Structure 1
């Protein structure tokens, strides 16, 4: 291969889809035989995840991590980019996970820039027009960029993937009382107030249940206050072992008001956990409602509650949805799928 080394660049520091996918994209590229340099903030949550991934000797040989501080990032924005130039001087292309970095890189070095479109924010579309290829994580974002003026050949659908598919499905909650769960950053767009209000509807209807929310964020205290009359609901904070979290659930809910993909959805589905999600762009690509999960309207706790009840009252339906969800993830959302998409379009670009 004439092109052998790629950089992955991100300025993201928080827990979430972008930080997770830095590691997954690294593994996908390394599995194709490429050398990969990941350039990211010292304080990034992804940094520890990458250290864990790099502990695998198969990855370690092809992987380099380069960190920078906030002052170095400011320097790049001001056009003082010697450190970044050094980092990019021996690569054949750069995968960018933050749209605003695209013109910055194009201004300092002649290098192909392959952008990952994680958010679908229309305000960022103008940056993507400067990229050589754009990999969007859902169909609507891909088409939105084409309508905005990006050549269709440069706008590519590239869904996220899970790093490891569980080898064995862990046994679900054995108690008589079913467990309902949700996980994510506790910010407004994640819709956790709707989740809590749906649980309150279950309680008013006399439905017996237990519930858990894993995660943290700016709305943590407000959410706990909202749930003060729900002793059935426990707040777990961030959990280290997600497989254990999902394995304890009988139903997983993603109540987001805005969701470009839905990484937690495919994580739960990979554990054969039946899922309910709001009908956002990302989940709409993943779930065929009534076949491998259920879609409900955004901002509608009553519809969410009624769908929970449908699953709670029918164990065979929970088993069926969980099994079909697992099969769908295994066929569509593993690292092998991501590698194939990247390889096909990298090869086409350089040919």
Structure 2
């Protein structure tokens, strides 16, 4: 089986899943070619499983004209079983080629369907996104296939390396520092809990604002900015509670990663978590934007070891049953076999 991927993302949860899927498909014998941006940090992670073509595919660049012709030529020559674009920008590269199924994967809610004019099937990673594209006029195929993450437990990082005492409660979150991730709100929530430390992994435009919030609230000494980490698992493993406070989160890959390390999770009631989380069973849910609510949920888990263990175990069980590599890779392989 042969698949061409078109992926112009940078570094984040969607890119982590792309790496996971490329590896998973490669381990199942799928021959892959991937068109990606130059100089991606994760390029070496997919090289053993995929041929690589690098391009920025920017407007006003030669590749904006030449790359579509190259992709069409390669498809006609190599006759893949599937052409697979990731999100809206990459879907512009999808050729009008009739020889195989053409798939666009969506990890968020699109506002414009014109990107997908040559797409046969939209793969949505939550039912809500699938319902949304139908509501805004999509009449072709829709499949819901979610993400998976690696489930191996890893050794925790040494807390001393992050100037964090042993024995103190550590809350962790991670992602791109953009307003919707609500890291400033989480910082304010932790500020209300004396003695609790906060680790934030990631980078982005909102970093300085979050630093300012920590300084203004007098908790700089309890907040650690970890920067972009290629492997966040040792940091999650060393924390006590994982929190995802996003105002908008179509799925929430980071929750799956926390569950893989058997950590209890507090999440906002954003779109993705409302699909697969059950309050009090596999995590705690808090209203979007409720700073005090996040403080109370974190404090509740700190003070109740039985609840901590219950929701951590429930989360790991959900991960293994609903978001396994085997189930997700098999669903994609069956889709690749489908005729347009």
2:55 to 45, 65, 68: 68
Alignment pair present for 1:181 and 2:198: no
Residues 218-229 of structure 1: pairs in structure 2 closer than 5 A: 218-228=205-215, 229=218
Residues 304-319 of structure 1: pairs in structure 2 closer than 5 A: 304-319=294-309
Give the secondary structure class of the aligned counterpart of 1:99: helix
- CA drift at 1:95: 0.6
8 Å Cα contact 1:137/1:158 also seen in 2: yes
Q: 1:240 to 1:345 in 2, by over 3 A?
A: closer
1:325 to 299, 305, 315: 315
2:129 to 134, 137, 141: 141
Scaled by the length of structure 1, the TM-score of the pair is: 0.85
User: In 2, distance between residues paired with 1:211 and 1:344?
Assistant: 42
Q: 5+ unaligned residues in a row in structure 2: which ranges?
A: 160-164
- CA drift at 1:11: 1.6
- CA drift at 1:307: 0.7
Q: 1:22 to 1:280 in 2, by over 3 A?
A: same
- CA drift at 1:79: 6.7
8 Å Cα contact 2:8/2:56 also seen in 1: no
2:329 to 339, 346, 350: 339
8 Å Cα contact 1:250/1:318 also seen in 2: no
Q: 1:8 to 1:176 in 2, by over 3 A?
A: same
Describe the superposition over 1:252-296 as per-residue Cα deviations: whole angstroms up to 9, x where unpaired. Answer: 001111111111110001110000111111112231111001111
8 Å Cα contact 1:76/1:84 also seen in 2: no
- The aligned residue for residue 162 of structure 2 is none
Residues 194-209 of structure 1: pairs in structure 2 closer than 5 A: 194-203=185-194, 208-209=195-196
1:193 to 170, 176, 184: 184
Alignment pair present for 1:5 and 2:2: yes
How many residues align? The count is 330
Q: 5+ unaligned residues in a row in structure 1: which ranges?
A: none
Scaled by the length of structure 2, the TM-score of the pair is: 0.88
